[in-house]
């Protein structure tokens, strides 16, 4: 059994918790969230606006909790170096606060063998994207962003098969906790300070920077942007390509169908369909449009919460089981 410690019990942390509840080879044995109490944990674990009703049995156990018969240690520290990860093999940092190696290195104590950051990281950190870049040399790694996990498999396939001359992508992204329910100041990005429920908000995407790290030979040829839209979950990525080799619809699908991460659907999805599934890269058949023999677009759906978390779990499964 691989024991997981979760730092940060927000959207990604709760999805990780939820998806691992019924796993037989991986379990959550510790959760750290600033100022958390047993009563707050019980409420957060059993109640969520987006996740299915969980209704797990949670019992007090000398300051910790027993979840479906398994002990989970609860702590409420603010910094990685303060947390005691007793019996934990892998820490997944979902706090969104610590994004460099020096801060994350504080988790590497006791039995902890690896730290996984559930967010884009700096240039000094290995980025692992399932099916694209799975080589790492350090025990502190990043699983990139949800958008990167959707984009990278498609970009990798198209580049290897047809050769990418130019790529431009736009992600139409669901709201996140970095936004606000009413207008307020946001020093880093003025627009993200506007009401998330009432606006389409143009912004940047971390996927643009990560593409340079994952595909250095494509630097200067891949560009991306983002719009945040008033939906709870379920995001859409439209990727426009200009390639070196001639293509048609059949050759594009032939290339995409052989990738383990990419799924192809003829369901004519909308975002509410995707939020019910834990898909990270779901291409709609009729959203692949060839303009001429060297230019085309691909429309891809992704669950920016559970779909992304599933990729973290798969990384753990591949490397620790």
Six token digits for residue 204 = 């940047």
DSSP per residue over 230-285, as a string?
S-SS-EEEEEEEEESS---HHHHHHHHTT-SS-EEE-S---HHHHTTS--S-EEEE
Six token digits for residue 74 = 């609860």
Strands 140-142 and 164-174: unpaired
Six token digits for residue 154 = 């498609």
| Helix (H) and strand (E) counts in the chain | 8, 16
**Distance, CA of 320 to CA of 45 (rounded, Å):** 26
Catalytic residue among 146, 167, 281, 282: 146
CB contact at 8 A, 251 and 293: no
**Distance, CA of 69 to CA of 80 (rounded, Å):** 27
CB contact at 8 A, 23 and 47: no
**DSSP summary character for residue 51:** S
CB contact at 8 A, 154 and 148: no
Strands 114-117 and 140-142: parallel
Please say if 27 is a catalytic residue: no
Question: What residues are labeled active site?
Answer: 146
């Amino acid at each position: 059994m691989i024991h997981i410690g979760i730092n940060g019990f927000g959207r990604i942390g709760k999805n990780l918790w939820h998806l691992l509840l019924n796993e037989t080879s991986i379990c959550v044995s510790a959760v750290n969230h600033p100022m958390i109490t047993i009563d707050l944990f019980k409420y957060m674990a059993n109640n969520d606006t987006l996740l299915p009703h969980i209704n797990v049995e949670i019992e007090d156990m000398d300051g910790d909790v027993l979840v479906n018969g398994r002990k989970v240690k609860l702590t409420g520290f603010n910094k990685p170096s303060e947390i005691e990860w007793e019996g934990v093999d892998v820490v997944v940092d979902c706090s969104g606060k610590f994004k460099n190696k020096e801060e994350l290195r504080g988790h590497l104590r006791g039995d902890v063998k690896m730290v996984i950051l559930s967010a884009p990281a700096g240039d000094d950190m290995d980025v692992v994207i399932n099916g694209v870049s799975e080589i790492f040399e350090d025990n502190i790694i990043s699983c990139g962003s949800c958008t990167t996990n959707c984009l990278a498999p498609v970009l990798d396939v198209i580049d290897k098969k047809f050769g990418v001359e130019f790529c431009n992508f736009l992600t139409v992204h669901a709201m996140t906790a970095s936004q606000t329910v009413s207008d307020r100041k946001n020093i880093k990005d003025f627009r993200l300070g506007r009401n998330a429920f009432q606006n389409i908000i143009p912004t940047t995407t971390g996927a643009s920077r990560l593409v340079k790290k994952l595909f250095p030979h494509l630097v200067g040829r891949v560009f991306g942007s983002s719009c945040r839209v008033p939906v709870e979950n379920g995001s859409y990525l439209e990727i426009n390509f200009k390639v070196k080799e001639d293509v048609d619809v059949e050759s594009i699908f032939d290339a995409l169908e052989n990738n383990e991460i990419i799924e192809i659907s003829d369901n004519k999805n909308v975002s509410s369909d995707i939020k019910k599934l834990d898909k990270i890269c779901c291409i709609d058949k009729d959203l692949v449009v060839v303009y001429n023999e060297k230019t085309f677009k691909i429309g891809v759906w992704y669950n920016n919460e559970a779909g992304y978390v599933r990729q973290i779990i798969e990384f753990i499964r591949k490397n620790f089981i």
